[in-house]
């Protein structure tokens, strides 16, 4: 390789890095540009390596350029993908899927290219081999990350489509939906809000949830009939079987209209604290922080209420007391509809508490949790849990 070529690749990598960093903003158009620039740059290096024989130092320099480009790709594509996927999925899930496919295909090409180089005469070049192993490791980590995003995209699309269908078949007006990515079970809850539901008759609220849950399960069964027979094997190292899965099996209301939920939090008995006495403005607590505090309070209020009827757990010193309590609720849930509802509500509060405690950068798009509070209050003040 001539000195001119060396300079060209050195400057080429630097200019790509600079343009990606300087142009980095959390917009989808920038994201698309970042993908295109990086792929074009890396393919140019692939072509140069394949065009002719290079001496050892030239090969190392080219691989170093790939390494620098790979690091930039990780920062300005993969990281932005993880941070902004919810927003971009809401804006245009089809376009997001196309870009995700572009990333997946490029990673597959990268891994194939590295594998070919490892089996070429280049394998005798030890410095080059070290860089190749590093590049391969980085690309495999990217592949796993993209797979997680593929799975999440299908979960989001399933939630969005299920909610849309529920809006069409429901007798009440449904406003918006939310779900937790932290809920590891494939049997997830779809949280919804409505302005037309009230808590005057809490049993009526539970009946509405049961009705919507039944409708949701029928929607899932219909999806299974259409897509369940598909045998989708791994394609280029990526698994697309999530497309045929039914993730959501239950509907739960979070909010409703015309309810002062601070009044309800005041009514929570000794298992809770009196949030009405706190003046948010004096403490300078913003709306989302208050929301997180209330959800955390509701979870622990119900936790201690259930625990009051489980004396064997009260004396337990094991660190997984919360999990044991959930298991006890599950075992006893078939005994009555009331206990079954407590079980599901506890699971849902647990999912929401994980969001409240740990997902500091992920908003909850349903900010009125008045109905969630009303349901929790009804269980806490019930004569019995089991």
Instruction: Confirm if 74 and 142 have CB atoms less than 8 A apart.
Output: yes
Q: How many other C-beta atoms lie within 10 A of the C-beta of residue 162?
A: 22
Nearest one of 297, 307, 385 to 341, comparing CA atoms: 385
> What's the pLDDT score for residue 212?
97
The tens place of each residue's pLDDT in the chain, 386 residues long, gives: 444 443 333 334 444 333 333 333 458 888 888 899 999 999 999 999 888 778 888 889 999 999 999 999 998 899 989 888 888 898 888 889 889 989 999 999 999 999 998 888 776 788 999 999 999 999 999 999 999 999 899 899 999 999 999 999 999 999 999 999 888 777 899 999 998 888 778 999 999 999 999 999 999 888 888 876 666 556 667 777 777 788 999 999 987 544 343 344 444 444 444 444 555 555 566 788 889 989 999 999 999 999 999 999 988 877 889 999 999 999 999 999 999 999 999 999 999 999 999 988 888 888 888 899 999 999 999 999 99
Map residue 236 onto helix, strand or coil: coil
Instruction: Confirm if 28 and 88 have CB atoms less than 8 A apart.
Output: yes
Half-sphere exposure at residue 124, Cβ-oriented, CA atoms within 13 angstroms: 4
Q: How many other C-beta atoms lie within 10 A of the C-beta of residue 365?
A: 12
Helix intervals (H) in the chain: 3-22, 28-51, 56-73, 79-118, 126-169, 202-227, 261-267, 280-283, 287-307, 311-314, 321-332, 337-358, 370-380
Instruction: Confirm if 125 and 61 have CB atoms less than 8 A apart.
Output: no
Taking CA 157 as the corner, what is the angle to CA 155 and CA 160, rounded to the nearest 5 degrees?
110
d(CA 357, CA 352): 9
CA gyration radius, the chain: 27
d(CA 258, CA 137): 55
d(CA 97, CA 77): 14
Contacts of 341 (CB under 8 A, 6+ apart): 206, 379
Where exactly are the structural domains of the chain? 3-155, 170-380
Q: How many other C-beta atoms lie within 10 A of the C-beta of residue 173?
A: 11
Q: Find where tokens 């130092």 sit.
A: 57
Rounded to two decimals, what is the model's pTM? 0.77
d(CA 48, CA 180): 46
Instruction: Confirm if 216 and 248 have CB atoms less than 8 A apart.
Output: yes
d(CA 124, CA 121): 6
Contacts of 102 (CB under 8 A, 6+ apart): 35, 39
């Amino acid at each position: 390789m001539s000195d001119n070529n060396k300079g060209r690749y050195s400057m080429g990598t630097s200019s790509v890095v600079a343009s990606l960093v300087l142009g980095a903003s959390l917009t989808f158009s920038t994201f698309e540009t970042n993908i295109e620039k990086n792929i074009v740059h890396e393919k140019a290096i692939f072509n140069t390596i394949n065009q002719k024989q290079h001496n050892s130092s030239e090969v190392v320099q080219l691989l170093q350029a790939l390494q620098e480009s790979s690091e930039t790709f990780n920062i300005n594509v993969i990281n932005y993908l993880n941070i902004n996927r919810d927003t971009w999925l809401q804006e245009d899930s089809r376009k997001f899927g196309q870009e995700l496919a572009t990333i997946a295909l490029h990673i597959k090409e990268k891994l194939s290219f590295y594998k070919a180089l490892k089996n070429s005469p280049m394998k005798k070049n030890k410095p080059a081999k070290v860089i190749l192993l590093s590049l391969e490791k980085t690309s495999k980590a990217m592949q796993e990350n993209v797979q997680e995003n593929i799975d999440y995209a299908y979960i989001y699309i399933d939630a969005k489509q299920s909610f849309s269908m529920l809006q069409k078949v429901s007798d009440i007006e449904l406003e918006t939906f939310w779900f937790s990515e932290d809920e590891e079970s494939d049997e997830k809850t779809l949280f919804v809000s409505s302005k037309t539901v009230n808590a005057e008759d809490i049993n009526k609220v539970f009946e509405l949830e049961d009705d919507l849950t039944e409708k949701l399960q029928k929607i899932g069964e219909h999806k299974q009939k259409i897509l369940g027979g598909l045998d989708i094997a791994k394609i280029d190292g990526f698994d697309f079987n999530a497309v045929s899965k039914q993730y959501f099996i239950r509907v739960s209301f979070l909010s409703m209209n015309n309810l002062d939920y601070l009044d309800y939090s005041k009514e929570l008995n000794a298992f809770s604290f009196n949030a009405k006495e706190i003046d948010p403005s004096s403490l300078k607590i913003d709306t989302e922080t208050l929301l997180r505090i209330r959800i955390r309070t509701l979870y622990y209020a119900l936790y201690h209420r259930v625990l009051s009827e489980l004396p064997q757990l009260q004396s337990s010193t094991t660190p997984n007391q919360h999990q044991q309590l959930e298991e006890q609720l599950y075992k006893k849930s078939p005994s009555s509809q009331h206990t079954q509802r407590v079980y599901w509500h506890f699971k849902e509060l647990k999912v929401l508490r994980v969001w409240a405690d740990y997902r500091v950068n992920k908003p909850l798009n349903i900010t009125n949790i008045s109905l969630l509070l009303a349901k929790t209050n009804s269980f806490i003040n019930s004569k019995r849990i089991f």
